Amino acid sequence: MGLLKVIKKKGPYRKSRGLILIESFNYNDAFAFSENIDLDNIEPFTLLLLNFDDLNSIKFHEFRWDGKVKHLKTLPTHEMQIWSSSTLYNKEVREKRSKIFFDFFKESSTKKDIPKNQLTFHKNKHGLNENEDLIMKGDGDLKTISITQFIINDKNQDLNYFDLTSNKETVLNLLNIKQYA
């Protein structure tokens, strides 16, 4: 079975984690979200939150719900980060994936167009077992189906969504996101 960790769902849960993402846009910042969001009977997740009024005041946060306790951590905005699901991958696999990521970006040629190269990195396999690689295929229908990329700089404030099953790209300008009820 490899190193893929299978977690039994405790559901049915009260609502989808995807709805929690949409609800996060109703809060002014990560702290208000963390303090006020009701996560009782919601499946554990990690959510990356970005707050900014302009490019000079960007705040980047990792919000993690472990099913019992909310965890909010402020992250550096000028450092590359990679996350791998702790419910799917054990520590050894997460560390392998992280090493591959940082080794990939040590190359000077990948530093020229970082957003493009980040996408290239995530859209390709890297020689790991198919249930550990970035384009992952696990048991049953478990597999990587999409990549979401944020590009925030003086030219762009975009969320790019790449559907790997249809090879379709959707670009959403973050300045035009509407508040959801």
pLDDT digits (tens, 9 = 90+) for 17-37: 888 988 998 998 999 999 999
Return mean pLDDT, the chain.
Answer: 84
Q: What is the pLDDT of residue 54?
A: 62
Which whole number is the average pLDDT over 171-179?
A: 74
Is the separation of the CB atoms in 104 and 96 below 8 Å?
no
Please, which pLDDT band fits residue 110 given cuts at 50, 70 and 90?
low
Q: What would the two tokens of residue 116 be?
A: 């493009």
The ranges assigned to domains in the chain are 1-79, 145-181
Please choose, from the candidates 39, 106, 105, 50, the residue with its C-alpha nearest in 3D space to the C-alpha of residue 77: 50
pLDDT digits (tens, 9 = 90+) for 44-102: 989 999 887 665 678 889 999 989 999 999 998 888 889 888 778 888 999 999 999 99
pTM over 0.85? The answer is: no
Between 125 and 113, whose confidence is greater? Answer: 125
Between 86 and 108, whose confidence is greater? Answer: 86
Most confident residue range from 27-41, 101-115, 145-159:
27-41
**Does position 11 have pLDDT exceeding 70, yes or no?**
no
**Does position 178 have pLDDT exceeding 80, yes or no?**
no
* CA–CA dist 43, 13 (Å, integer): 6
